Structure 1
Amino acid sequence: MKENFYIDDTDKRILKFLSVNTRMPFTEIAKKMNVSAGTIHVRVKKMEDAGVIRGTSLNIDYSILGYGFIVYVGILLTKSSKTQSVLEKLALIPNVTTANVISGKYNIYCKISAKDPQDAKNVIYKIDDIEDVLRTESMISLEESLNDQNRLMDALFL
């Protein structure tokens, strides 16, 4: 985000509408806010240019598609200078849905979505085979209890 970028109440309201439904038409937002669709378009463009809004995304329930076995994997590297190279190789494994560079015991922490334990094992073996991966530690998710991207925004824009 650009320094000195100011988000006013209109921008906050637009962000709230888009956080609930990223596909909401600007005309619908404009009607709810009693402003023109052009105003919404200009404000969204301004926030995109400033880096406040970065694209749009879908929230896909992979379990409905048969990929409900979730495993978190801590990855320890041979050298921390190899992090970018390993991240690039992780990006080639479709089951790896998130990867974070972290501090602490591991260099990278990722989430994989698999069909079942056997599928997860195969994905973990692919990760283990990446050059400069020293070892991995896997943790099976029993249940995702909290996954709400809007919680922080709601708190910030009260």
Structure 2
Amino acid sequence: MKEKFYIDETDKKILQFLSINTRMPFTEIAKKMDVSAGTIHVRVKKMEDVGVIKGTCLNIDYNILGYSFIAYVGILLTKSSKTQSVLEKLAAIPNVTTANVISGKYNIYCKISAKDAEDAKNVIYKIDDIDDVLRTESMISLEESLNDQNRLMDALFK
């Protein structure tokens, strides 16, 4: 188990600035915090080294690119299945944007982005064709009401 990393107030403020805009220059953050750019650089590097910061993220609006049909797919595997093998095959399908190994009714739960219902059907057929997939159940997303990766961080830092 990884050792817990202590985050002080300076680290929290840096993370809050970067969570709003991952491309914000360290010099700009430094000015807003009244510290040197070197301080920001050292702090960010340390948080990267311990794994608090894992790369940066680019948020793409797939609706604008024509992929506005979202569905969630529960995947039930055969008893003799190799979960890791199925996950690797799911990763080869570009429309599968997330996949989680879960407990409960299904073994894997994933999110797919598609152009329309026909496109989603073809993606689901690809999932169904994976060896060791016993069956799938799809749920269409009518609206994404909450998608805020920073909610937990904001709550932790209050």
TM range (shorter): over 0.9
Partner secondary structure for residue 125 of structure 2: helix
Give the distance between the partners of 1:23 and 1:39, measured in 2 at CA. 17
Asked if structure 2 preserves the Cα contact closer than 8 Å seen for 1:2 and 1:51, the reply is no
Partner secondary structure for residue 82 of structure 2: helix
Stretches of structure 1 that go unaligned for 5 or more consecutive residues are none
Partner secondary structure for residue 99 of structure 1: strand
Q: Deviations over 1:79-112 (max 9, x none)?
A: 3751110000000000000101111000100000
- Aligned position for 2:116: 116
1:138 aligns with 2:131: no
Give the distance between the partners of 2:106 and 2:32, measured in 1 at CA. 47
Give the distance between the partners of 1:49 and 1:144, measured in 2 at CA. 34
Q: What amino acid maps onto 1:13 in structure 2? A: K
Question: Normalised by the size of structure 1, how large is the TM-score?
Answer: 0.97
Partner secondary structure for residue 145 of structure 1: coil
1:71 aligns with 2:71: yes
Deviating 4+ runs (over 2 angstroms): none
- Aligned position for 2:25: 25
| Deviation for aligned residue 1:78 | 0.6
- Aligned position for 2:13: 13
Stretches of structure 2 that go unaligned for 5 or more consecutive residues are none
Asked if structure 2 preserves the Cα contact closer than 8 Å seen for 1:90 and 1:127, the reply is yes
Question: Normalised by the size of structure 2, how large is the TM-score?
Answer: 0.97
C-alpha RMSD of the superposition: 1.2
| Deviation for aligned residue 1:2 | 3.8
Asked if structure 1 preserves the Cα contact closer than 8 Å seen for 2:80 and 2:132, the reply is no
1:36 aligns with 2:52: no
Asked if structure 1 preserves the Cα contact closer than 8 Å seen for 2:14 and 2:40, the reply is yes
Structure-2 change in CA distance of 1:80 and 1:57 (3 Å): farther
Asked if structure 2 preserves the Cα contact closer than 8 Å seen for 1:96 and 1:112, the reply is yes
1:48 aligns with 2:48: yes
Partner secondary structure for residue 112 of structure 1: strand
- Aligned position for 2:125: 125
Give the distance between the partners of 1:137 and 1:111, measured in 2 at CA. 12
Asked if structure 2 preserves the Cα contact closer than 8 Å seen for 1:102 and 1:108, the reply is yes
Aligned length: 158
Give the distance between the partners of 1:46 and 1:80, measured in 2 at CA. 43
Structure-2 change in CA distance of 1:155 and 1:111 (3 Å): same
Which region of structure 1 is more displaced relative to structure 2, 90-99 or 1-10? 1-10
